Structure 1
């Protein structure tokens, strides 16, 4: 989906461990953590009404564990119900989710809130486990409920329970205390260091052929810095989008670190959606007289451009990011629309790409022709139209926009086509000792309200990378994405590849430190990278049935799917290289037999046999050799990160109990560990297994 960058990965155990620690960290600061979206909200397509069909075993083994751990171990204070339906009912009125599982089985005592606008009824929702309708009480209010509560038709004990839960959270975080906080402590030196450390820890080294990395500056005279993500600290979009205080781009970081030692040849080479500059007012006119710059803006207090405009003004350029604010006093911050009209005039004849970025819908007309038609709710995304404009000619332009709810964003920009930028990038690569291509996606491609259409790098970046490699074989590709992307077209020709994800405001510094060897990368992939979309478990069911999504892959998602079907991935789950090498040895089990209440102790040694310090994430998998039900080839059950100096070794210790051997038994409605043979596997990734040992459970 479009929001993959917000998730903790494809494995339920991994997601559980990250969720628990994250919640504890947030809530120790008197902030209520909220886990979302409960449950099975794994697509944005038709998210507000799609009926997600998931079998009971898959829910409990794959989709519930992180929520369960968040409640039972993390003591999370709030849970958000999802937009979608789950096996029939909407999640916000699902007794199975909110009552049977969450409040009864897991003993959750916090509050359950809805996603924004995810409530569809009054009585069924009140009677179920939802405590708080967000963002306002369209269905849960005194007009819909009070008379029925007074008459006894609705149980007042349910109301008391909902109020009690809301108050419990408020008291827990100190809202009724004289709580003080220091508002000046924003982006302090300590905060910047944490942001940098987190970014560095997550970077994954995917390929390092011929040890092209780290870059040895002493052997170079010039570096080409190229690509659409070279001068931006990228992030994902939607409600999780974060505007950094002081973002550092890779270009800026490299200039700061080595700009005085080597020549940096910068050429962006290619622009992706959302990167164009707003069309300046000198190119916009209210009429053909050419005397008045800007466009006529008509502001309506409804979404459909209906009636008389509440305001009519001339906007010098169209570059609005109103977030949650209103454009005028006594004007709504949501549920409004704007129509801009006027003329566009270019200074020189050429092909231009006109970009309209918006949250929510837009329509663009050029010479009365509808050229962009996206009259839909969504987080910020960019629609584009390319055409030839003649110098000095006035082109009639009309832009229509509506805002439904949430952030209000609209920008009218333009840019030259990428062909001219490509020539500059090729020349920069040819005239440099080494080329670094910063490729990937952005908030315009990975965001809320829509799914990615494919896993291809947007705007022909694959061909772009191939052209740069032709110009300079010493090319390194740095990906900044929130999800897997295909690399088949160029991976064999590129010696060095890094996946940096969306690393936050310290993106540039973190990436530069890894490139230059100041930091040895130690990140591991939390998701499997496929060769092609057809290899993924959801390929046969996603968007195949209007209004319904069937999780026919069951428990076989991610690496479980690839291993069961013997499909080779591009990069496996848990994969990540280092600038050093690690040796695994000495696997020991406290016993080769395990009984119901036993804890099996596991130990082994990892040694850094390379020449530089580094960190390794050791992973423990369990394989059930023979079971009464179909089970994955193996499943992650423990992991640990160890930092080692050259030549240093440490003993890693794990402890497992029968929960690591168990599967969810649908008939018994409980977790079961069956007697029999098991294999314990220790590896550097799900594919790279270094040590194994059999044992029995009796």
Structure 2
């Protein structure tokens, strides 16, 4: 229900004031901003004047309590009705204390810790004056060529939904109005953005309605059910129509079917981009189509301010459509308590104590350690012996560029580097550092120095990866191997014939040819954030046992892409009992499967799965199935294991995935300890979208499987029957 305050204000607003409430402008446009004074060019280009700014509804990219308080004060002095601004920013995986990138957070499989990290990010952002974060990004991702996979938690809709719920709760808390330590969450990108053709950012998306509902929409529905206040439309097309102007997506699904009554904002410039998309002839038509579709806020273009009044005057749209959008924005401001306190949580004194506090860094270190994935550990190369001499080599040895592209307020100067982390573990003369190789270039002299350093050590740690700008938005790549210079470095170091531990820093799954074969141990660290160096050192020296598992498959080669665990079978599946040698769905020069599958990750200990049991062979629609399995730590170290539950619907109205994740539990066991782990499945867990988009289940045969990753499982069959009385 909309508040009286919002409705009263709306009744007093002129049409021009309403239209301006629907635009979002960057910080430099506003009086009182610390970077004010360089707006003449942008103002002219965007056709923005002083009246527009005085009545603008929201601000993009402001930060810092003093700066935001100053902007809000100036704005309230000049806004006729005293309507406060909304301040929004990209607080994706941390404000100043930077946590691992979301893809890494997904690999922790720790939704509680993910929620805690979002809560800390919100606390730091709120005390700095920010009201809304453009996070979480919950796009399903299957193509590592796309740079923005770093912002997602992976390739599975069930897992993404769980992380979406956790992050919404962390950002917003129980009551965002009453808690000054929380911010409103804007989930993105609605919808299908992760399926951009060729992994090329901003590119076309083309999929069936059923695929959209089955895999790409569930995390958004989960986020809305969790109370998300805002939605950001995606750049891409959905069934031939850009999301920003897509009535079916925004009005029918989001508003009517899901009853979402929050604010929808375009992505940067997306309303005007309807013109190059080819669905609007000019800015006037772009404004018309975006507003009709239900896009409430236009980010960083001027189609609304220039055209909405004339569209109403000419009878092409009803003013009630504008009122509806403005009311939602005013309601959000009321829900955040801005009418009572326009400065909300902004506090310059508290800011100094809260941001980058020791407690926040401790959580960042813990999450970074749980996010790293051990991909290889031949001959128990890890953990390292602190008494041995270690050579640290490579472009990331002392680099602070381990935050990721979306850490725009993070400081590389305050990062704990790998070198610093290792120095905290060994004596000064036990660590030798060679940093001569750059990310994309290496000289023969640098190779020689690296080899000489390596020869003096007992074990070699090579820190390699992508520069942060090589992934993230607009970071699409066709070649997802490490740069050639680093491959040459790894090859050169391998000639020393000493144990090699490779630590990877990257924002996407990589093609690891040239790396994996020269590494005795391989630790995927992603971009681990502010405390990355300490977390990595904790893992390398065994203070912590690696427990992360992949939530996005690593391809054997880029030619397989997309490669993901929950794919469909074909009529000629490779490996079927009656399959021919050649005429099956396969590559002649590559395996079908990934190099490392979804759910994969090693530990310094071993876990044995046994005694899978189900409570009954048949369940009716009104019953539940209890699944239990024993998991034992058979190694010599304590460790955490992620127990994963999958199902397969053997016969459906439409083809079903070969596996679907339906549950997971992260447990910790000491050596020799055994636990019985229980899961529960209901008929609802067996539902899917049918050809007519009806969401229901089919009676018949199913397979339930449990294991430590998506490929190594124990499985048992069961049946779903229509009603209990039909059981034998």
TM norm structure 1: 0.72
RMSD after superposition: 2.2
Over 3 Å counting, the alpha-carbon distance change for 1:50 and 1:226 in structure 2 is closer
Structure 1 residues 237 and 518: CA distance shift in structure 2, 3 A: closer
- Does residue 265 (structure 1) correspond to residue 432 (structure 2)? The answer is yes
- When residues 175 and 44 of structure 1 are mapped into structure 2, their CA distance, relative to the original with a 3 A threshold, is farther
Measured after TM superposition, the shift of residue 595 of structure 1 is 2.1
- Matched residue, 1:504: 529
Q: Give 2:414's aligned residue.
A: 246
Cα 1:211–1:450 change in 2 (3 A) is closer
More helix by share: 2
Deviations 1:222-243 (A, max 9, x none): 1100011111243465555452
Aligned-pair CA distance for 1:89: 1.6
Q: 1:48 to 1:85 in 2, by over 3 A?
A: farther
Q: Which runs of 5+ in 1 are unaligned?
A: 274-352, 354-416, 538-556
User: 2:364 is matched with which residue?
Assistant: 195
Unpaired segments ≥5 residues, structure 2: 1-145, 174-180, 273-285, 575-591, 723-728
1:659 pairs with one of 664, 669, 684 = 684
> 2 CA distance for matches of 1:264 and 1:152?
74
Of the three residues 87, 90, 113, the one matched with 2:242 is 90
Asked if the contact 1:236–1:446 (Cα under 8 Å) also holds between the matched residues in 2, the reply is no
Q: 1:491 to 1:562 in 2, by over 3 A?
A: farther
Would the aligned equivalents of 2:653 and 2:691 in 1 still touch at CA under 8 Å?
no
- Cα displacement string for residues 488-525 of structure 1 (whole angstroms, at most 9, x for unaligned residues): 33423422111011100111000000000000000000
Q: Is 1:139 aligned to residue 303 of structure 2?
A: yes
CA distance in structure 2 between the aligned counterparts of 1:600 and 1:452, rounded to whole angstroms: 44
Q: How many angstroms apart in 1 are the aligned matches of 2:614 and 2:333?
A: 47
Residue 213 of structure 2 is aligned to residue 60 of structure 1: yes
**Would you say 1:206 and 2:375 are equivalent positions?**
yes
Q: CA deviation at 1:139?
A: 1.1
The change in CA–CA distance for 1:474 and 1:49 in structure 2 (over 3 A counts) is closer
Distance 1:648 1:432 in 2: 37
Structure 1 equivalent of residue 287 of structure 2 = 122
Change (3 A) 1:97 1:418: farther
Alpha-carbon spacing, 1:517–1:239, altered in 2? closer, same or farther (3 Å):
closer
Q: For residues 48 and 631 of structure 1, what CA distance do their matches in structure 2 show?
A: 29
Whichever structure has more strand as a proportion of its residues is: 1
Query: How many aligned positions are there?
Result: 530
- Which residue of the other structure, out of 71, 79, 94, is the alignment partner of 2:224? 71
Q: Is the 8 A contact 2:703 2:717 kept in 1?
A: yes
Confirm or deny: 8 A CA contact 1:462 1:490 kept in the other structure.
yes
User: Are 2:621 and 1:615 aligned?
Assistant: no
Change (3 A) 1:533 1:212: same
Instruction: Give how far 1:47 is off.
Output: 7.0
Note the C-alpha offset of 1:152: 4.8
Partner-residue secondary structure (3-state), 1:104: helix
What do residues 200-256 of structure 1 show as CA deviations (whole Å, max 9, x unaligned)? 1101111111111101223x2x11000111112434655554523720110111112
* Equivalent residue, structure 1, for 2:168: 23
In 1: Cα distance, 2:401 partner to 2:688 partner: 40
Secondary structure of the equivalent of 1:258?
A: coil
Per the alignment, residue 625 of structure 1 pairs with 650
Tell me which residue corresponds to 1:379.
none
Cα distance between partner residues in 1 of 2:516 and 2:296: 50
What does the per-residue CA deviation read over 1:420-473, in whole Å, with 9 as the maximum and x for residues that have no partner?
A: 211111111111100011111121311322412311101332232121111133
Mapped partners of 2:515, 2:680: distance in 1: 43
Equivalences for residues 464-483 of structure 1 within 5 A? 464-483=489-508
Task: Select 2:548's aligned residue among 514, 517, 523.
Answer: 523
Q: Is the 8 A contact 2:612 2:714 kept in 1?
A: no
Residue deviations 1:76-129 (CA, integer Å, cap 9, x gap): 111101112222222111011111111111111210000010003111111111
CA pair 587-475 structure 1, distance change in 2 beyond 3 A: same
Indicate how the Cα distance of structure 1 residues 650 and 128 shifts in structure 2: closer, same or farther if over 3 A, else same. Answer: same
Q: Give the deviation of 1:271 after TM superposition.
A: 0.2
> Which residue number in structure 1 is paired with residue 63 of structure 2?
none
Match status 1:597 vs 2:622 = yes
Q: Counterparts of 2:641 and 2:416 in 1: how far apart (Å)? A: 27
Q: State the secondary structure of the residue aligned to 1:471.
A: coil
Q: Distance in 1 between matches of 2:621 and 2:362?
A: 46
State the TM-score, normalizing by the size of structure 2.
0.70
Match of 2:401 in 1: 234
- The 3 A distance-change label for structure 1 pair 8 and 490 is closer
2:670 aligned residue (628, 641, 645): 645
Say yes or no: does 1:558 pair with 2:564.
yes
Query: Equivalents in 2 of 1:40, 1:588: separation in Å?
Result: 38
* Residue aligned with 2:250, SS: helix
Q: Residue in 1 aligned with 2:600?
A: 575
Which whole-Å CA distance do the structure 1 matches of 2:379 and 2:332 have between them? 55
* Kept after mapping to 2: 8 A contact 1:236/1:442: no
Q: Distance in 2 between matches of 1:498 and 1:571?
A: 13
